[in-house]
Structure 1
Amino acid sequence: MLKLIINADDFGYSRAVNYGIMDAHKMGILTSTTLMTNMPGAEHAVKLAKENDTLGVGVHLVLTCGRPLIQGHKTIISESGDFKKLSFYEQDFQVDLQEVYKEWKAQIEKFLSFGLIPTHLDSHHHINSFGNIYNVFLKLAKEYNLPIRNNIKKEVYDISKEFKSTDFFGGELNEAIVNVINLENSFKDYETVEIMCHPAYVDQFLLKSSSFVFPRLEELEILTDKRINEDIKGSKNIKLISYRDL
């Protein structure tokens, strides 16, 4: 039987994102999410999480969106004091890994201060897999004894024989779920599959701050589609889980 985790990134980004994620869970097949503790909707997300404890919630570590929790960084922030953009990390870059460690540790500690128990760690824009940042990511995972998203190069950390992580955007999500239902392509070769997604409603903050907006609505519609829900939840070959079940 295939164990299936469907994880929504960006919990805490904004109220509209939070409500979209919660509806994808309560009315759909979403089982898991990861919280951005540095974003404006973080406390609202925590309130929703505590009211809906069937949703697994992990930590979405951030280096490329919003502002850091700790002041005094030199290499991971722009002149405005915001985190540097993804484009900085897509080129040759140099950052102080100790700054990354201190900031990410602060983000995890803030998560814990909310009274939530994290299910796992992943990162915004997969930034944990860029350069040598994976060293910090793995160090914190070991320190807090938490599972991680399997998106690091195999020669460093390979659990791919049992676990596959994959992300889809907008309409791609529908094809991915259909392939899972039919156990097609490479999905059948793994014990556990995580499908990453970004369901949301839209508000002004999301419109002004993100380049990925309206496809989130499409993902929400797919995750709450009646036919898809019946096929997934009624399947004898698929078991919906969250990271807390690993």
Structure 2
Amino acid sequence: MKLIMRADDLGFSEAVNYGILKSIVDGVITSTGMMPNMESAKHGYELVKNLDIALGQHTNICVGKPLSDPALIPSLVQKNGEFCSSKEIRARKEDSIVVEEAEIEIEAQLQRFIEITGRKPDYFEGHAVFSENFFKALKNVADKHGLFFCNPSIDKEWEKENHLYGLPFFKLDSDGLYDPKEYMQDNFQLIKENECSVAIFHPGYLDQYILTHSSFTKIRAMECDFLCSEWLKQWICDHQIELVNFKNYQK
């Protein structure tokens, strides 16, 4: 049994960066995705650059400002030039993201990733926006640059082709939390049956930027604590689960 423990949102804020760092050093995270357009992206990279993990591009088109000219990507931005929120995008009756416009911003974020890190990402995926046009644009850019496009839990054909299977998304309670022990136990049979499973988390600490700009707040600190817990480490050991990362599955 193999399992990738993925932490999203590196670069969202400095507090999130420190939580992800702890979840790697003191916890079981094996892969993390960086949001290249965010002001704290370089700060996050500097924290994790020497750690034995897979570092991906967590492409972001719904928080903050784009790296490309807003005039070139009208389907992605508000009148003030900042990205439309994920909530606003989900409320649309149709997928109005224009593939070609999304590709412009994705390319810009890839170039920023390379500027920050000096290399291409180990895997390539998107943040918070469940849009077929966004996924298509991500795959187009990934294919163009020979990158490992990653889409578990969403694209069943991708899962079969890459032998990587995402665990189901957790369901949050009225406080925006869930029971992570129960989540892992409930999904153990899937982990056992799959060649390799992918579990996605959002560990982090909280600062004012996250409190203002993210719907994930208390869940980040809770997951950070869980990912570093002795219970989880012992559970992984007891079930003889091998922790791997996305570099093990690059083509």
* SS, match of residue 133 in structure 1: helix
Q: Is the 8 A contact 1:173 1:197 kept in 2?
A: no
Alignment partner, residue 86 of structure 2: 86
1:37-186 aligned at under 5 Å gives the runs 37-50=36-49, 52-71=50-69, 72=71, 73-90=73-90, 91=92, 92-114=94-116, 115-125=118-128, 127=129, 129-147=130-148, 148-154=150-156, 157-159=158-160, 162-166=163-167, 167-168=169-170, 170-179=177-186, 183-184=188-189, 186=190
* SS, match of residue 36 in structure 2: coil
1:112 CA displacement = 1.1
Aligned length: 237
1:122–1:197 CA distance, 2 compared to 1 (3 A): same
TM-score, normalization: structure 2? 0.86
1:158 CA displacement = 4.9
1:235 CA displacement = 4.2
2:75 maps to amino acid: T
1:60 CA displacement = 0.4
1:189 maps to amino acid: E
Give structure 1 stretches of 5+ with no counterpart. Answer: none
Alignment partner, residue 231 of structure 2: 227
* SS, match of residue 159 in structure 1: helix
Alignment partner, residue 192 of structure 2: 188
1:204 CA displacement = 1.3
Equivalent-residue separation in structure 1 for 2:59 and 2:124 (angstroms): 7
Equivalent-residue separation in structure 2 for 1:108 and 1:132 (angstroms): 18
Alignment partner, residue 33 of structure 1: 32
1:143 CA displacement = 1.9
Equivalent-residue separation in structure 2 for 1:121 and 1:111 (angstroms): 11
Equivalent-residue separation in structure 2 for 1:4 and 1:22 (angstroms): 19
TM-score, normalization: structure 1? 0.88
RMSD: 2.0
Give structure 2 stretches of 5+ with no counterpart. Answer: none
Equivalent-residue separation in structure 1 for 2:111 and 2:238 (angstroms): 38
* SS, match of residue 64 in structure 1: coil
Q: Is the 8 A contact 2:2 2:242 kept in 1?
A: yes
1:104–1:28 CA distance, 2 compared to 1 (3 A): same
Q: Is the 8 A contact 2:126 2:135 kept in 1?
A: no
1:139–1:231 CA distance, 2 compared to 1 (3 A): same
